[in-house]
């Protein structure tokens, strides 16, 4: 399988994990390990920035293969996002950032205007920006233009487990993008993750579906396998979907 | 949109709403349970006596919806009483002007000492509480208090007298995160009976407080009724209608609902509308089914057994180890308290109960940098 490359960094795993909603930090850690994920996002607001690696969440993420992707969940505009990002960079010693600006606390949908504004500024400040964004092909191109390292369009509203309801738009985004496309939000089952990989997404980010399942560790492994299966299928080139039957041994070949 | 909630509330007739709730049938309840986007009519059905037979189904649905949205976590907060001075007469309150208790407002030093004592318990989210004494505990006092305690906490909320939009803005700039302001009752005429004297007796001013909060750009506002004053079903309907209106108008704000039930206190009036434990569970589940994103909050007014079990049914934030008198964490003085708490278990003990139920108690879910 091809390795995933974001901002010159190679990843074996195409599954990214969120750290919220778990019933304990131990279970979070075990699930992340079972998923084999190498990039996990953690909300800045949950971390005690003054405590560094001794912070409860961070101490459970302290594994060599796990890279931190701090996120700005809670900010409402570009200005707050830039401020939060700079603090995260300083406290967590990484310039990777999941840019999340959702001023709407009910559906947690990203604000495209503020996100673009913040992305542009953060890229200039040397951040590796992975923006959470609506499945809008034009805004994704605009983000690419200002230099984000990837785009993270949503499959459906966050936490809903509804799968790829934005499928038509995601396909356009993937077709047009010169940077990795990570499908974030709404992925509710391993089959959704496999589907995302099959249509050519570069990675998926999953949280609720794992954290809230009856057995998060097993579910994490299921997502790991589904992501691999989907990517393998994509690389092996899936057959075309046809309306009518197509014989595997053509009947008229003897005539040529 | 230039309407405000006072205009909307006028369209609802208290008696008519009450009749409508009490005439809901099991068919209405089942329809409400099956509706993916429940309406206010569905909420009425879920509140109705007919829904009492569906309590287990409601609880299951409430748990599922809560976990999907909030995960296996419970947010922890603690009340921080700054003052029990009050110029209002409220017939049900231990801080009421006519209640003969010693009055106390914390000084700067006492505020800092209290903050340190609370911090020691492990809390990072605090709720500042006062009575209404605008001369001694006005906006300047609150501003100063927030400034003093800001170094100790990540999230500061208040439950104090309603103030003006610009005054809220000043406090937001100081780092205020949320404001809780309960209407107590939406029954306009009887509101005056429960609040005969003081600034609080102005029903309209209180009703328009969330409007002013929205305009001030507050992150979160908490609504609620005081269960026991009037029919809890009808009052809850009005509260949900208020919430519906606010959510659409102030779409950048988070909302929470609390469920204070009247408890014995120094004033002591007879309760008009008693809610049973079962009905309180029904009410909590009804809110959750009606609104998946709503934060639902519970205090230590409730018993140990009730609180142990309610964690799984839709509540998303809870306090523990609480004192309801100013300075109570640093130097407890029961003579000053607003109401007697029921669940007196320590923070650690209660956090363990939460963990045993398969939830992570979350003490920090905000950061100063986000203000």
Q: Tokens representing B266? A: 């120094």
Q: Do the Cβ atoms of B359 and A39 come closer than 8 Å?
A: no
Query: Residue B180: beta bridge partners?
Result: B222
Q: Which of B252, B355, B367 sits opposite A24 (nearest CB)?
A: B355
Distance CA A230, CA A187 (A): 14
The per-residue pLDDT of chain A, averaged, comes to 92
Distance CA B104, CA B335 (A): 11
* Res B1: pLDDT: 54
* Res B79: pLDDT: 96
pLDDT at B268 over 70: no
Query: pTM, whole model, 2 decimals?
Result: 0.86
Q: State the residue for tokens 């990039």.
A: A39
Domain spans in chain B, listed from the N-terminal domain onward: 8-362
Residues B21, B25, B27: CA angle, nearest 5 degrees: 130
Q: What is the ipTM of this complex?
A: 0.75
Over residues B54-66, the mean pLDDT reads: 96
With a pLDDT cut of 70, the percent of chain B lying above it is 96
* Res A52: pLDDT: 65
| Consecutive H or E run containing B108 | helix B108-120
* Res A239: pLDDT: 78
pLDDT at A28 over 60: yes
Q: Please provide the size of chain B in residues.
A: 371
Distance CA B220, CA B252 (A): 9
- Of B279, B278, B296, B274, the C-alpha closest to B287 is B296
Q: Identify the burial level of A39 via C-beta atoms within 10 angstroms of its C-beta, where 0-12 means exposed, 13-18 middle and 19 or more buried.
A: buried
Q: Does residue A152 sit in helix, strand or coil? A: strand
The per-residue pLDDT of chain B, averaged, comes to 92
* Res A202: pLDDT: 97
| Chain B residues interacting with chain A (CB cutoff of 8 angstroms) | 67-73, 154, 247, 251-254, 293, 355, 358-360, 362, 364-367, 369-370
Distance CA B101, CA B93 (A): 12
Verify whether the Cβ–Cβ distance A23 to B68 is below 8 Å: no
Inter-chain CB pairs, A–B, below 8 Å = 70
Distance CA A112, CA A95 (A): 22
Residues A44, A47, A51: CA angle, nearest 5 degrees: 130
Phi/psi zone of residue B133: left (φ > 0), alpha (ψ -120 to 50 degrees), beta?
beta
Over residues A40-54, the mean pLDDT reads: 82
Over residues A212-239, the mean pLDDT reads: 94
pLDDT at B353 over 70: yes
Verify whether the Cβ–Cβ distance A211 to B71 is below 8 Å: yes
Q: Do the Cβ atoms of B213 and B222 come closer than 8 Å?
A: no
Own/partner pairs, B35-44, CB within 8 angstroms, 24+ separation: B38/B289, B38/B290, B40/B237, B40/B240, B40/B241, B40/B244, B42/B289, B42/B290, B43/B237, B43/B240, B43/B286, B43/B290, B44/B17, B44/B20, B44/B237
Over residues B237-247, the mean pLDDT reads: 96
Over residues A170-194, the mean pLDDT reads: 95
Over residues B250-268, the mean pLDDT reads: 82
Verify whether the Cβ–Cβ distance A45 to B293 is below 8 Å: no
Chain Cα centroid distance, residue B170 = 22
Pairing of strands A4-6, A9-11: antiparallel
Distance CA B300, CA B101 (A): 22
Candidate from B106-110, B233-237, B259-263, B366-370 with smallest mean pLDDT: B366-370
* Res A50: pLDDT: 75
Q: Does residue B196 sit in helix, strand or coil? A: coil
Fold held by B8-362: TIM Barrel (3.20.20)
* Res B251: pLDDT: 94
* Res B151: pLDDT: 94
* Res A228: pLDDT: 97
Verify whether the Cβ–Cβ distance A105 to B254 is below 8 Å: yes
The 10s digit of each residue's pLDDT in B125-179 is 999 999 999 889 999 999 999 999 999 999 999 999 999 999 999 999 999 999 9
pLDDT at A60 over 90: no
Over residues A18-41, the mean pLDDT reads: 94
The 10s digit of each residue's pLDDT in B273-310 is 788 999 999 999 999 999 999 999 999 989 999 999 99
Q: Which of A80, A87, A104 sits opposite B252 (nearest CB)?
A: A104
What are the helix (H) ranges across A4-75? 25-35, 56-59
CA distances to A37, A226, B321, B371 from A229, in Å: 15, 5, 50, 43
User: A107: Cβ–Cβ under 8 A, 6 or more apart, which residues?
Assistant: A157, A158, B293
Candidate from A141-155, B92-106, B128-142, B183-197 with smallest mean pLDDT: B92-106
Distance CA A88, CA A52 (A): 11
Q: Which chain B residue has its CA at the smallest distance from A162's CA?
A: B68
pLDDT at B267 over 60: no
* Res B262: pLDDT: 83
Query: Residue B127: beta bridge partners?
Result: B79, B157
Q: Do the Cβ atoms of B43 and B241 come closer than 8 Å?
A: no
């Amino acid at each position: 399988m091809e390795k995933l490359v974001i901002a010159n960094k190679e990843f074996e795993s195409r599954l990214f994990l969120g750290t919220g909603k778990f019933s304990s930090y131990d279970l979070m850690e075990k699930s992340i390990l079972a998923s084999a994920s190498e990039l996990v996002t953690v909300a800045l607001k949950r971390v005690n920035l003054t405590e560094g690696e001794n912070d409860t969440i961070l101490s459970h993420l302290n594994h060599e293969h796990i890279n931190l992707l701090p996120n700005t969940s809670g900010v409402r505009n570009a200005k707050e996002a830039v401020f939060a990002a700079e603090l995260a960079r300083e406290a967590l010693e990484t310039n990777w950032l999941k840019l999340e600006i959702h001023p709407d606390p009910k559906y947690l949908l990203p604000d495209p205007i503020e996100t673009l504004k913040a992305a542009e500024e953060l890229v200039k400040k040397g951040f590796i920006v992975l923006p959470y964004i609506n499945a809008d092909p034009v805004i994704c191109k605009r983000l690419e233009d200002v230099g984000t390292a990837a785009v993270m369009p949503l499959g459906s509203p966050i936490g809903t487990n509804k799968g790829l309801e934005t499928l038509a738009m995601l396909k356009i985004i993937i077709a047009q993008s010169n940077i990795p496309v990570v499908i974030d939000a709404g992925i509710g089952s391993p089959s959704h993750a496999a589907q995302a990989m099959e249509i050519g997404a570069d990675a998926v980010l999953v949280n609720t579906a794992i954290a809230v399942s009856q057995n998060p560790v097993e579910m994490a492994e299921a997502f790991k396998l589904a992501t691999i299966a989907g990517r393998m299928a994509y690389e092996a080139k899936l057959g075309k979907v046809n309306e009518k039957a197509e014989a595997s041994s053509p009947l008229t070949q003897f005539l040529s | 949109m230039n309407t405000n909630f006072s205009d909307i509330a006028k369209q609802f007739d208290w008696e008519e709403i009450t009749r409508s709730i009490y005439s809901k049938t099991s068919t209405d309840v089942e329809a409400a349970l099956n509706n993916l986007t429940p309406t206010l009519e569905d909420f009425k059905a879920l509140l109705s006596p007919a829904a009492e037979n569906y309590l287990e189904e409601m609880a299951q649905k409430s748990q599922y919806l809560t976990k999907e949205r909030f995960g296996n976590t419970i947010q922890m907060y603690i009340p921080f009483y700054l003052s029990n001075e009050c110029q209002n007469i409220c017939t049900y309150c231990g801080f009421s002007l006519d209640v003969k208790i010693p009055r106390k407002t914390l000084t700067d030093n006492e505020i800092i000492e209290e903050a340190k004592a609370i911090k020691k318990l492990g809390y990072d989210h605090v709720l500042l509480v006062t009575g209404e004494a605008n001369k001694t505990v006005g906006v300047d006092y609150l501003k100063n208090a927030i400034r003093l305690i800001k170094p100790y906490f990540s999230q500061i909320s208040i439950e104090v007298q309603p103030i003006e939009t610009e005054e809220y803005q000043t406090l937001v700039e100081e780092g205020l995160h949320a404001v809780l302001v309960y209407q107590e009752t939406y029954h306009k005429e009887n509101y005056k009976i429960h609040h005969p004297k003081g600034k609080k007796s102005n029903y309209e001013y209180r009703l328009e407080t969330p409007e002013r909060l929205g305009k001030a750009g507050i992150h979160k506002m908490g609504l609620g009724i005081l269960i026991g004053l009037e029919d809890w079903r009808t009052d809850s309907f009005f509260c949900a209608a208020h919430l519906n209106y606010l959510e659409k108008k102030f779409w950048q704000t988070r909302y929470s609902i609390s469920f204070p039930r009247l408890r014995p206190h120094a004033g002591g009036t007879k309760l008009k509308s008693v809610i049973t434990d079962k009905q309180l569970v029904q009410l909590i589940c009804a809110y959750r089914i009606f609104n998946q994103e709503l934060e639902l909050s519970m205090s230590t007014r409730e018993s140990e057994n009730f609180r142990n079990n309610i964690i799984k049914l839709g509540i998303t934030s809870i306090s523990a180890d609480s004192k309801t008198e100013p300075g109570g964490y640093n130097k407890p003085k029961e003579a000053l308290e607003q109401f007697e708490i029921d669940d007196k278990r320590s923070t650690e003990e209660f956090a363990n109960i939460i963990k045993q139920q398969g939830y992570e108690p979350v003490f920090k879910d905000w950061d100063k940098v986000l203000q």
